[in-house]
Amino acid sequence: MHFKKRNANCGELRKENTNKEVILNGWVQTVRDMGGLIFIDLRDRWGLTQLVIEPETNPELAAKSKELKSEYVIWAEGKVRERENPNSKMPTGLIEVLLKDFEIINKSELPPFEIIDDLDTNEESRLKYRFLDLRRPTLQGNFDIRNKLYQVTHQYFAKHNFYEVETPILMKSTPEGARDFLVPSRINKGKFYALPQSPQLYKQILMISGFERYVQIAKCFRDEDLRSDRQPEFTQIDVEMSFANADEVLELTEGFFKMLWKDVLNMDIQTPFLRMTYEEAMMRFGSDKPDLRFGLELSDITKHLQGTDFKVFSDTIESKGIISCLNAKACASYSRKNIDDLTELAKKYGAKGLAWIKFADGKVNSPISKFLTEEEISNILKETGAENGDLLLIVSDKKYKALTVLGALRLEIARREKILEQVKNQFSFSWVVDFPLLEFDEEDNRFVALHHPFTSPLEQDLNLFYEKPEIARANAYDIVVNGAELGGGSIRIHQREIQEQMFKLLGLSKEEQISKFGYFLDALKYGAPPHGGIALGLDRIVMTLCGTENIRDVIAFPKTTSGLSLMDGCPSQVEKKQLNELGLRLLKED
């Protein structure tokens, strides 16, 4: 295909380039025939440049331009000149290119939607025609940011002496936690590989192998029923260090985010980040990923209700639950309907109900005031810092359930009161540390690891780990920005005995330990160094940098929430021959 190759791009020409002879390659955005002049906006990755044809001086070119339509690919040759009507909104808005010649390189049918940002096309159509959707400036911008994130990652970790190592995608299935995607083996019929949920064990083995510092931008897979912000495959920046303690991992990570925010957003973020224990985050914000850009803190009012006659509260106190209160500042004017909505939300999160106290015009108004003494109410107002016009929302339940409900209400109030809107350009980084190591799963009657089974207990909780594992804390940390978890990690167990004890607590028999994790327990026998690391959610970080809540806006070819790729129609049926080769058949359809 012969065509004149560009010597400039559509984003770079300025007033200083006046009189320069240029050749541009790109896509026709629009053609406007103004009678006296014909304007063509030409687009490439770098921007948009206005081309102009003067029919009076170049009638053939003007005639030829009648052929041009949106999304045609052309080369265009001409001379840069200053515009008569500059457009200050466009970087190239002070100039235009007076065309000498152009040719069509490739034509385009009429696209199903226009290549502009303010698009109300439904997402289904956008995903089907992803090749066109990706041309939109917003998406191009998102992938520019995503690219910068990769580059910062490469540079930062190389500078800190990390080795980039690839770990396998075809690995062993060890069903713990989420569901594995399986890959049938043809050579070894009846056997399966699994796609990694994370390279956790491989990176720990690399530490045991003496690599000391490992980084990988790793593809990970989880066969979950998808939520709107999940994808079956996602990417994490996977990091592991030997002979490191938690402080070093945190400091390294902070440096990474500092460089990233500077390079991408030109923002200076303060390090070190605030560190908050899980306990504090739950008690104050009702969340293990608190959004610290605004207040609306919770208060523990249990102590003020020790002697209460109100049965809901006294029952909670008796069963060692908590009575916690969110002061919804300046919300005393909420209507009955508003409060009913909040109550619904509280129930959705598992609350049995929602109590409230309005404090307005110096007076208290509450359906539960008749059950409380004046002193109790006065203490509650004092404890929560209630002022005239505030609305107090109270949940009494098992501790973490009550706190979680109030955490959800806190975010809802922030949304309703447009607080999130006000803080949307701020970034508040923090670490949440000292998570519980284990949770007891009532249903399965066994412990499950809150992070994963390779997380070390805190040094000072090692005895608890053996004696009262349910209250031992993990040497684990999550990084949280604006209420979203961007990643998490831990110092790992590097002693075989502790790892075996952990597996035991999780209900794995000796045999299961060996069949599932035998090689790893083996590896721990031969001089495993102390080590720890972190995994950062790359897609989520790009979303944060781009300010989008839609994960599909930062992944080039995403799947829908039903795991479909609407562009190429996968997953799809395969030929019987392929299944035969794999030694498989489909179960009868129900």
List binders of a copy of itself among 3-42 (CB under 8 A): 3, 5-6, 25, 27
Burial of 210 from C-beta contacts in 10 A (0-12 / 13-18 / 19+)? exposed
- As measured in angstroms, the least distance from the Cβ of 70 to a copy of itself is 9
- The residue from 63, 158, 274, 471 that contacts a copy of itself (CB under 8 A) is 158
Using CB under 8 A as the binding rule, whether residue 125 contacts a copy of itself is answered as no
Using CB under 8 A as the binding rule, whether residue 529 contacts a copy of itself is answered as yes
- As measured in angstroms, the least distance from the Cβ of 135 to a copy of itself is 5
Burial of 415 from C-beta contacts in 10 A (0-12 / 13-18 / 19+)? exposed
Tokens 């831990």 belong to 490
User: Given the complex with a copy of itself, which of 250 and 282 has the nearer CB atom?
Assistant: 250
Cβ neighbours, 10 Å, residue 553: 21
Segment 403-462, which members bind a copy of itself (CB under 8 A)? 459
User: Given the complex with a copy of itself, which of 118 and 590 has the nearer CB atom?
Assistant: 590
CA-closest candidate to residue 454, choices 493, 417, 428:
493
- The residue from 12, 103, 122, 163 that contacts a copy of itself (CB under 8 A) is 163
- As measured in angstroms, the least distance from the Cβ of 495 to a copy of itself is 7
- The residue from 15, 32, 45, 66 that contacts a copy of itself (CB under 8 A) is 45
User: What is the DSSP track for 309-326?
Assistant: --HHHHHHHHTT-EEEEE
User: Given the complex with a copy of itself, which of 184 and 389 has the nearer CB atom?
Assistant: 184
- As measured in angstroms, the least distance from the Cβ of 470 to a copy of itself is 23
- As measured in angstroms, the least distance from the Cβ of 475 to a copy of itself is 10
- As measured in angstroms, the least distance from the Cβ of 157 to a copy of itself is 10
Segment 170-229, which members bind a copy of itself (CB under 8 A)? 170-173, 175, 179-195, 201-202, 205-206, 208-213, 219, 221, 223, 225-226
Q: Which stretch binds a copy of itself (CB under 8 A): 318-326, 362-370, 499-507, 552-560?
A: 552-560
Within 8 A by CB and 6+ apart from 276, the residues are: 284, 290, 430, 431, 432, 433
The b/e string for 93-125 (b: 16+ C-beta within 10 A; e otherwise) is: bbbbbebeebebbeeeeeeeebbeeeeeeeeee
User: Given the complex with a copy of itself, which of 216 and 482 has the nearer CB atom?
Assistant: 216
Q: Which stretch binds a copy of itself (CB under 8 A): 2-10, 52-60, 282-290, 324-332?
A: 2-10
- As measured in angstroms, the least distance from the Cβ of 582 to a copy of itself is 7
The tokens describing 234, both together, are 């996602």
Q: Which stretch binds a copy of itself (CB under 8 A): 280-288, 330-338, 432-440, 565-573?
A: 565-573
Q: Which stretch binds a copy of itself (CB under 8 A): 91-99, 163-171, 320-328, 434-442?
A: 163-171
Cα distance between residue 458 and residue 505, in whole Å? 16
Q: Are 232 and 178 in contact, with CB atoms under 8 Å apart?
A: no
User: Given the complex with a copy of itself, which of 372 and 524 has the nearer CB atom?
Assistant: 524
Mutual orientation of helices 399-416 and 336-348 as an angle, nearest 10°? Answer: 140
Using CB under 8 A as the binding rule, whether residue 360 contacts a copy of itself is answered as no
Length of the chain (residues): 590
Using CB under 8 A as the binding rule, whether residue 569 contacts a copy of itself is answered as yes
- The residue from 49, 92, 142, 167 that contacts a copy of itself (CB under 8 A) is 167
Using CB under 8 A as the binding rule, whether residue 72 contacts a copy of itself is answered as yes
Three-state SS at 162: coil
Q: What is the dihedral of CA 28, 33, 39, 40, to 10 degrees?
A: 0
Cα distance between residue 380 and residue 357, in whole Å? 10
- The residue from 12, 124, 166, 344 that contacts a copy of itself (CB under 8 A) is 166
User: Given the complex with a copy of itself, which of 338 and 580 has the nearer CB atom?
Assistant: 580
- As measured in angstroms, the least distance from the Cβ of 341 to a copy of itself is 32
Segment 263-282, which members bind a copy of itself (CB under 8 A)? none
Q: What is the dihedral of CA 72, 78, 83, 86, to 10 degrees?
A: 40
Within 8 A by CB and 6+ apart from 380, the residues are: 301, 304, 325, 357, 372, 386, 392, 394
Segment 294-313, which members bind a copy of itself (CB under 8 A)? none
- The residue from 7, 18, 87, 151 that contacts a copy of itself (CB under 8 A) is 151
Cα distance between residue 384 and residue 353, in whole Å? 20
Q: Which stretch binds a copy of itself (CB under 8 A): 105-113, 119-127, 283-291, 360-368?
A: 105-113
Segment 461-500, which members bind a copy of itself (CB under 8 A)? 494-495
- The residue from 40, 43, 50, 432 that contacts a copy of itself (CB under 8 A) is 43
Segment 231-250, which members bind a copy of itself (CB under 8 A)? 232-233, 235, 242-243, 245
Tokens 């100039």 belong to 95
User: Given the complex with a copy of itself, which of 483 and 558 has the nearer CB atom?
Assistant: 558
Q: Are 539 and 551 in contact, with CB atoms under 8 Å apart?
A: yes
Cβ neighbours, 10 Å, residue 503: 22
Using CB under 8 A as the binding rule, whether residue 568 contacts a copy of itself is answered as yes
- The residue from 259, 530, 548, 550 that contacts a copy of itself (CB under 8 A) is 530
CA-closest candidate to residue 286, choices 147, 395, 436:
395
DSSP, res 302: G
The b/e string for 423-461 (b: 16+ C-beta within 10 A; e otherwise) is: beeeebbbbbbbbbbbeeeeeeeebbbbbbbbbbbbeeb
- As measured in angstroms, the least distance from the Cβ of 357 to a copy of itself is 46
Using CB under 8 A as the binding rule, whether residue 82 contacts a copy of itself is answered as no
Cα distance between residue 326 and residue 396, in whole Å? 12
